[in-house]
Structure 1
Amino acid sequence: MTDISVWNTPYQVEDRSWLLSPHGTDPGTTPSIVLDVSAFTANVHYPNGYIPSGTNLAKFTASGLYGPYTVSNEVQTITEGGSGLTSFTLTWNGQTTASLDDQATAAEIKAALEALSNIPAGAMTVTGNPGGVYTVTFGGALAGTDVAQMTATPTGGTGTVTIATTTAGGTEGSGGLEVCAGHLFAATKVPNVADTTKDVGAALFVHGFVKLSKLPFGLNANGQADCKLIHYVP
């Protein structure tokens, strides 16, 4: 007997807030491409089964398929040491935060850094327990960028605050993935998340106006320079 009961199927809600104008979206202006699904990471690029529109793409030189434009975000750590530390400040690119308690939360560290006029809002995440070690990951407008290392000035006793860069930003992929070719025009469903050998067709956005802060993955200056027909707005 045929089962004709009601089935509920989830659909992806398209988010093209990164697209600032219809320029470059007319029929025939978004080339058809094929995505190499195996080049994408499930928990990063398609946690809900869809690769989001606006994803930065690059073309494999050998296969002609497309994968994610790959850059590393800078990661720096803040480690407290010594004894008697009561507070400290952080300095980045010549600007210094307000004083931070030695037991500051990660949220307080983030707020103090983003209060600096030279750090864009949403350009970092901070994790860690009060007293550290804190991990600062640069993203957003600073994604994929080799940023300056912070410095710290401790106060109290013989306390120390050490900054270390654990991942340098701007390290790019290879085999073609180091050159940004454009952006995924429409959210694309991965056919079978359990079998990433199955490639999938898609469309590539290659010219027009894009809002950087709305892209699902940050794009560094090199990637922007690669896309010569796209005008990027912060």
Structure 2
Amino acid sequence: MDIQPYTSTETLAVGRPWLMSMLGIEANQSVTLDLTQFDENLHWTEASKYQPERKLKSGIPLGKVSATGLFAPYSAVTNEVQTLTVTGGPTGGTFTITFDGQTTAAVAYNATAAQVQTALEGLSNVNPGDVTVTGNAGGPYTLTWGGQYLGENVSSVTTTESFTGGTTPDITIATTTAGGTATATDGSQVFAGFLFTEVAFHPGATKVAAPLMVHGQIDVAKLPVAFDPTDVADGSNTQFVYKV
């Protein structure tokens, strides 16, 4: 009789959902990261009662800064970053967000970042992975665009408020980083590989040793930050097979 091959959707290694195969990991290299170049929430999570150290996410694309020899986030493109700040101290009500002609369902005045992200992903022109929302409940909310909007100067969102309480409550919107082709010329625009594991570090540290993956099979959709293999320039590391 026919024997069905065993298949599994389990993660190959803890903390690496983006890793499709262990083949090639023997080529990993030890490098030193410049922690001052990595951003909270996007690249690392803060220490807590249950996590005594800060922790870098595995799978971050990296580039090497020529002047220092240290590694930093790969910067071939710049992702659009927008900030929504609730002002006036509302005590109730809701707001909606409009992006490129599409408007979300109503969001509570004190919504969590995850709830705001879910509302945006409910739009017909926003897929999961297109935007990452971080921040505290009630804001400010930081919207980092990626996915199909990777490296694009996207339209600014707008909001409509139905707040109660407070003093003239409103939402201010700012584009803190315009998306587009990165202007980096320090070496970080040349793709070097991926951070292979989660890496813990103490607050106040500026450098940490880490394993750099330079060969392997990658599920792009499961990386912790937006990454488009087609943006990798000639001369960069191309020793990867990608699922996109």
2:111 to 99, 105, 115: 105
Structure 1 residue aligned with 2:32? 35
Q: Structure 1 or 2: larger strand share?
A: 2
Post-superposition CA distance 1:89-123 (Å, at most 9, x none): 4321332223557x463465433222113223363
Is the contact between residue 32 and residue 203 of structure 1 (CA under 8 Å) also seen in structure 2? yes
Structure 2 residue aligned with 1:205? 214
- Please identify, of 48-57 and 177-186, the stretch whose mean Cα deviation from structure 2 is larger: 48-57
AA at the equivalent of 1:230? F
Structure 2 residue aligned with 1:17? 17
Distance 1:99 1:33, change over 3 A: closer
Q: Secondary structure at the match of 1:110?
A: helix
Q: Secondary structure at the match of 1:58?
A: strand
Distance 1:16 1:139, change over 3 A: same
Distance 1:117 1:22, change over 3 A: farther
Structure 1 residue aligned with 2:195? 184
Structure 1 residue aligned with 2:8? none
Q: Secondary structure at the match of 2:67?
A: coil
Counterpart CA distance in 1 for 2:122 and 2:191 is: 31
Distance 1:111 1:202, change over 3 A: closer
Counterpart CA distance in 2 for 1:51 and 1:87 is: 34
Structure 2 residue aligned with 1:215? 223
Matched, 1:117 2:128: no
Q: Secondary structure at the match of 1:90?
A: strand
Q: Secondary structure at the match of 1:53?
A: coil
TM-score when normalising by structure 1: 0.61
Structure 2 residue aligned with 1:75? 82
AA at the equivalent of 2:214? F
Identity of aligned residues (%): 28
Post-superposition CA distance 1:162-218 (Å, at most 9, x none): 54323334556441112322112345566x876656x63634324x432234323x0
AA at the equivalent of 2:211? A
Matched, 1:61 2:58: no
Counterpart CA distance in 1 for 2:170 and 2:57 is: 43
TM-score when normalising by structure 2: 0.59
Structure 2 residue aligned with 1:3? none
Matched, 1:135 2:141: yes
Q: Secondary structure at the match of 2:232?
A: helix
AA at the equivalent of 2:105? A
Q: Secondary structure at the match of 1:16?
A: coil
Structure 2 residue aligned with 1:230? 240
Counterpart CA distance in 1 for 2:222 and 2:229 is: 18
Structure 1 residue aligned with 2:175? 165
AA at the equivalent of 1:57? L
Structure 1 residue aligned with 2:6? none
Structure 1 residue aligned with 2:99? 92
Is the contact between residue 37 and residue 200 of structure 1 (CA under 8 Å) also seen in structure 2? no
- Of structures 1 and 2, the larger Rg is shown by 1
Q: CA RMSD in A?
A: 4.4
Distance 1:184 1:127, change over 3 A: closer
Distance 1:90 1:59, change over 3 A: same
Matched, 1:175 2:180: no
